[in-house]
Amino acid sequence: MDRRHFLRAGVAASGSLFGFAYAADTQITHINDAINKAGRQRMLSQRLAKSYLQIGQSIDLIRSNKIFSASIMLFERQLAELEVFAPTADNKATLLELRKTWLRYKGALVSNPPNRQDAKAIMLINEEVLTLAHAATVQLEKSSGTAAARLVNIAGRQRMLSQRMAKFYQAINWGVASSDALINLAKARDEFLLAMTELANSPKNTAAIKLEIVLAQQQWLFFDQALKSSASTQESKIRYATNVATTSERILETMDRITGLYEQLA
């Protein structure tokens, strides 16, 4: 696939978009909304790398192309919203650095169709975007200082960890991962489980949140099983990588709903 066809395919696929719904608003109205969206930028940094790696391997290709295009669009939209809302000078400065790094990341993502050589650069720069997006999220949480804001941040970070684990799996699968990829995948897994325990035990959980957490815990079992799969043939390699792609999306959708429910807490 040449570059022009790759970009056209991505634009064409981005119609109905994400597979899970976001509010249609284009303006941040309160601090928990800002924390949710800043936290979602962390997730998108990882989701873009994951979908890039999947496209390069023809894994779940139609959906991976949709995810890729939609993630770029959403990252840019939310970054503009966060820049307008930024409540402190430090937050404004962090977002300025994030924009600069995002432009480099986007350039690396779309300059050529996904390939192994560029994938190695993607595996580095996505970490820079993640670091800055996380810093911006933490600044917003501190600006709020409420228990609800902390829960929005923690639940939102679970979205990122789901995509981060899948990213490392797909990078290992394609042979473009760094030597510490397995260690980082295991670390993300431990962090996910620890945070899920904290969320499940929160006294602020509503009945709706409790139901969604149970669903997320059930989905985790399938995702974790997929992550532990070890392929012995090319056919099984593709099948297991597809399982990781699909199960990572299911748990992401649920954690996004949970984050939205925490955002609504007073």
What integer pLDDT is reported at residue 9 of this predicted model? 43
Kindly state the average pLDDT of the residues 171-190.
97
Q: Which domain holds residue 213?
A: 3-14+28-263
Q: Would residue 17 be called left, alpha or beta, if left means φ above 0 and alpha means ψ between -120 and 50 degrees?
A: left
**Quick one: pLDDT at residue 5?**
45
Q: Sign (positive/negative) of CA torsion 148, 266, 83, 139? A: negative
Q: Is the pLDDT of residue 196 over 80?
A: yes
The answer to the question of residue 239 being in a domain is yes
**What is the pLDDT averaged over residues 212-225?**
97
Mean pLDDT score, 241-259? 98
What pLDDT score was predicted for residue 230?
Answer: 81
* Residues 235, 171: Cα–Cα separation, whole Å: 17
Assigned domain for 19 exists? no
pLDDT in tens, 122-150: 999 999 999 999 999 999 999 999 999 99
Domain annotation covers residue 93? yes
Q: What is the pTM of this model?
A: 0.91
Has residue 22 been placed in a domain? no
Q: What is the pLDDT of residues 228-237, one digit of tens each?
A: 988 788 888 8
Residue 80 lies in a domain: yes
User: Is 23 part of a structural domain of the chain?
Assistant: no
At residue 22, does pLDDT exceed 80?
no
The count of domains in the chain is 1
In a domain, 20, yes or no: no
Average pLDDT, the chain: 91
**Encoding tokens for residue 103?**
């432009």
- Residue with tokens 């430090």, as numbered in its chain: 90
More confident residue, 81 or 230: 81
The sign of the dihedral angle between the CA atoms of 227, 42, 144, 216 is negative
Q: For residue 21, tell me if it sits in a domain.
A: no
Burial of 217 (0-12, 13-18, 19+ CB in 10 A): middle
Give the Cα separation of 43 and 6 in Å (integer): 23
